[in-house]
Amino acid sequence: MERRKFVQLTGLGAGALLMPSLLLGNNIPVEALLDPGMDIAVKKRLADVALNTAKSLGASYADARIGRYLNQYVSTREDKVQNVTNTESFGIGIRVIANGTWGFASTNDVSEDGIKKATDQAVAIAKANAIIQKEPVKLAPVEAYGEVSWKTPIKKDFKEVPVSEKVELLLKANAAAMDNGANFVNSNLFMVNEQKYFASTDGSYIDQDIHRIWPTFGVTAIDRAANKFKSRDAMSAPMGMGYEYLDGLESEKLEGPAGLRLYRNSYDIVEDATLAAKQAKEMLKAKSVEPGKYDLVLEPNHLGLTIHESVGHPLELDRVLGYEANYAGTSFANLDKWRSGDFKYGSDIVNLVADKVQPGSLGNVGWDDEGVKTKQWDLVRNGVLINYQAIRDQVHMLDQNESHGCCYAQSWNDVQFQRMPNVSLEPGKTPYSIHEMIKDVEKGVYIAGRGSYSIDQQRYNFQFGGTVFYEIKNGEIVGMLDDVAYQSNTQEFWNSCTKICDEGDYRMFGSFFDGKGQPSQVSAVSHGSSTTRFNDVNVINTGRTV
């Protein structure tokens, strides 16, 4: 969804195309990551400059976000370090309402003069646009929280872990893959620390320290004689955690079907790379799927992306209302369906919740980017659509007077708007394991990990691939499959959901690169679920000869 021109990065999966957005900022030495940054008292004084300037220029509301975004990125291939990058991006974004219209400007000149100039610009834009504004912006009330703070509850700060330790770990994973038959391996480690200070004319001064981490790799096996190559990506998830995610704790590992190892809140990258190499080789000889109807058994690190596309996006209120019509699209889940009170989004066992509070998730923060305290709320309960995701300037269109707290901007340089919170499928309430689920399937496909994904602009028709596919026959896994993708319709698919494993199988999928808005912004989001069964889904064969 970005303007891509000829950018191509290999071995990182689809999200890699948006990677430069993550790495915006100035290159700095690693020690500079530990610099505490601007004192909070100075931030408050400077934020007040923006708020007071805006008010003096006639703004009825203003908020200021002083952001310091620290990123570290380590990239390797086979036995080589390709890149170690540390970046810092620092600046202020000022949003105002003047003449009932939004205006926004940002600057990296975080001095009184720079802030006054940017505030001037924001107000000027608001006033210029007021001429074509139809209805004045209406904000839902928010509590004045005073001076408050929040931190991601991390155990190990990536900024304090030596780069050499990170490089060593990735090279060890690469060596494990090469020793087990890989022809190529690329591995990467992304680490993010957002230090965000928010102030608004509604009386909040909020200081937050947010951490995210994403270890990943792509392993490729090649059969030159057959002119074939296959890649197997990592089974990790990006998480809202510190470096402790890479501890590889045994207690967080799950034994999946077909010898798969699956990871909850702790990831063993060396073990996963070892298995990835073996599986990439196995893929070269896997049986091409017979197209037709199958019962699908979908693993959480796969199902998360399906939840993201077929539940997360269609229930964004700004899409429903048409604000994204020119880019991401609108939604089939329109207000009439919601108002009916009985729109069956899924079967009775489908309960989908939104939240910004789940520990370890990418969405987890204390307050959103317009100063609203975060929470959890229901989207679909017992299969029925009951709510959307909305922020201060739109929630009144649902006749609700409290923002859901899911406003976000990717940096100080971008305006904040409604972004997807974590959207998760509640686990089944009765004990039921993945192994029991497979035993109950006569003709099916087990899919683990993310793959190709595509969905229409109103979120009806979708097609998903995966990382690995296994054929299930009469309650048993009988072998690996190739060329698998499934096509369905959102409502039909969620109504075909017949079984959900219990909470022992629950874990999170995540993405650093949910794209939306113009200019496009990325956002990080998690989706939790347990392995889930969907009956009679259309599977196509994607093999072609060229």
Partner 1 sequence: MAIYTKEEARQIMEKALSFSTADATTINLGGSESGNIRYARNTVSTSGHRSNQSLSVTASFGKQSGSATIDEFDDASLEKVVKIAEELAKLAPVNPEFMAPLGPQRYDDDITFVEATANITPEYRAKVAAASIEPASEKDVTAAGFLNDSSRFRSTLNSNGLFAYNKSTDSDFTVTMRTNDGTGSGWVSRDFNDITKFDPAEAAKVAIDKAVLSREARAIEPGKYTVILEPAASVDLLRNMSGSFNARTADEGRSFMSKDGGTKLGQKIVDERVNIYSDPLHPDVPTSTWNGEGMPLKKTSWIENGVVKNLAYDRYWAGQKGMEAVPFPSNFIMEGGSATLQDLIKSTKKGILVTRLWYIRGVDPQTLLYTGLTRDGTFYIENGEIRYPVKNFRFNESPIIMLNNLEELGQQVRIDGNLIPFMKVRDFTFTSLSDAV
- Considering only residues 317 through 336, tell me which ones interact with partner 1, judged by CB under 8 A: 321-327, 329-330, 332, 334
Q: How far is the CB of 324 from partner 1 (least distance, A)?
A: 8
Measured from the CB atom, the residue of 272 and 483 that comes closer to partner 1 is 483
Instruction: Look at strands 184-200 and 417-418 and give their pairing.
Output: unpaired
For 514, half-sphere exposure in the C-beta direction (CA atoms, 13 angstrom radius) is 29
Say which residue the tokens 């329109």 belong to. Answer: 334
87 binds partner 1 per the rule CB under 8 A: yes
Site for partner 1 in 265-304 (CB under 8 A): none
532 binds partner 1 per the rule CB under 8 A: no
Q: Of 212, 233, 244, which is closest to residue 512 (Cα–Cα)?
A: 212
Say which residue the tokens 């991601």 belong to. Answer: 152
Measured from the CB atom, the residue of 279 and 330 that comes closer to partner 1 is 330
Site for partner 1 in 207-266 (CB under 8 A): 220, 222, 224, 227-229, 231
Measured from the CB atom, the residue of 245 and 513 that comes closer to partner 1 is 513
What is the C-alpha separation between 82 and 185, in angstroms, rounded? 12
121 binds partner 1 per the rule CB under 8 A: yes
101 binds partner 1 per the rule CB under 8 A: yes
Segment (H or E) for 232: strand 228-233
398 binds partner 1 per the rule CB under 8 A: no
**Of the candidate residues 105, 213, 362, 407, the single one contacting partner 1 (CB under 8 A):** 105
**Of the candidate residues 34, 42, 128, 478, the single one contacting partner 1 (CB under 8 A):** 128
Q: Which residues pair with 407 in a beta bridge?
A: 418
Cβ neighbours, 10 Å, residue 544: 6
Taking a C-beta distance cutoff of 8 angstroms, is the pair 151, 241 a contact?
no
**List of residues 6+ apart from 225 with CB closer than 8 A:** none
Measured from the CB atom, the residue of 7 and 144 that comes closer to partner 1 is 7
458 binds partner 1 per the rule CB under 8 A: yes
What is the C-alpha separation between 436 and 258, in angstroms, rounded? 14
Tokens of 463: 């097609």
Measured from the CB atom, the residue of 461 and 535 that comes closer to partner 1 is 461
452 binds partner 1 per the rule CB under 8 A: yes
What is the C-alpha separation between 47 and 348, in angstroms, rounded? 49
∠ CA(77), CA(78), CA(80), 5° rounding?
65
183 binds partner 1 per the rule CB under 8 A: yes
Q: How far is the CB of 417 from partner 1 (least distance, A)?
A: 7
Size of the site for partner 1 (CB under 8 A): 87
Q: How far is the CB of 28 from partner 1 (least distance, A)?
A: 7
**Of the candidate residues 257, 312, 449, 465, the single one contacting partner 1 (CB under 8 A):** 465
Q: What is the x/- site pattern for partner 1, positions 23-62, by CB under 8 A?
A: --xxxxx---------------------------------
Measured from the CB atom, the residue of 135 and 342 that comes closer to partner 1 is 135
Radius of gyration of the chain (CA): 24
Measured from the CB atom, the residue of 457 and 535 that comes closer to partner 1 is 457
Site for partner 1 in 412-441 (CB under 8 A): 413-415, 417
Site for partner 1 in 484-523 (CB under 8 A): 485, 487, 489, 518-519
106 binds partner 1 per the rule CB under 8 A: yes
- Helices 269-284 and 163-179 cross at an angle (nearest 10°) of 30
Q: Of 199, 267, 186, which is closest to residue 232 (Cα–Cα)?
A: 186
Segment (H or E) for 532: strand 532-541
Measured from the CB atom, the residue of 118 and 525 that comes closer to partner 1 is 118
Segment (H or E) for 120: helix 112-130
Q: How far is the CB of 473 from partner 1 (least distance, A)?
A: 25
Q: What DSSP assignment string belongs to 259-303?
A: G-EEESSS--HHHHHHHHHHHHHHHHTPEEPPPEEEEEEE-HHHH
Part of the chain binding partner 1 (CB under 8 A), chosen from 46-54, 104-112, 198-206, 249-257: 104-112
**Rounded to the nearest 5°, which phi and psi values hold at 172?**
-70, -40
Measured from the CB atom, the residue of 135 and 250 that comes closer to partner 1 is 135
Measured from the CB atom, the residue of 100 and 248 that comes closer to partner 1 is 100
Report the SS3 class of residue 101: strand
- Plot region of 356 (φ>0 → left; ψ -120 to 50 → alpha; else → beta): alpha
What is the C-alpha separation between 413 and 92, in angstroms, rounded? 7
**Of the candidate residues 124, 254, 270, 349, the single one contacting partner 1 (CB under 8 A):** 124
Q: How far is the CB of 131 from partner 1 (least distance, A)?
A: 6
162 binds partner 1 per the rule CB under 8 A: no
Taking a C-beta distance cutoff of 8 angstroms, is the pair 308, 525 a contact?
yes
483 binds partner 1 per the rule CB under 8 A: yes
Measured from the CB atom, the residue of 283 and 500 that comes closer to partner 1 is 283
Q: Which residues pair with 103 in a beta bridge?
A: 96
Part of the chain binding partner 1 (CB under 8 A), chosen from 266-274, 428-436, 453-461, 497-505: 453-461
**Of the candidate residues 15, 67, 103, 240, the single one contacting partner 1 (CB under 8 A):** 103
**Of the candidate residues 460, 480, 502, 535, the single one contacting partner 1 (CB under 8 A):** 460
Hey, CA dihedral for 422, 427, 433, 435, is it positive or negative? Answer: negative
Q: How far is the CB of 330 from partner 1 (least distance, A)?
A: 8
CB-based burial, 433-446: b 16+ in 10 Å, e otherwise? bbeebbeebeebbb
Measured from the CB atom, the residue of 341 and 544 that comes closer to partner 1 is 544
For 62, half-sphere exposure in the C-beta direction (CA atoms, 13 angstrom radius) is 28
546 binds partner 1 per the rule CB under 8 A: yes
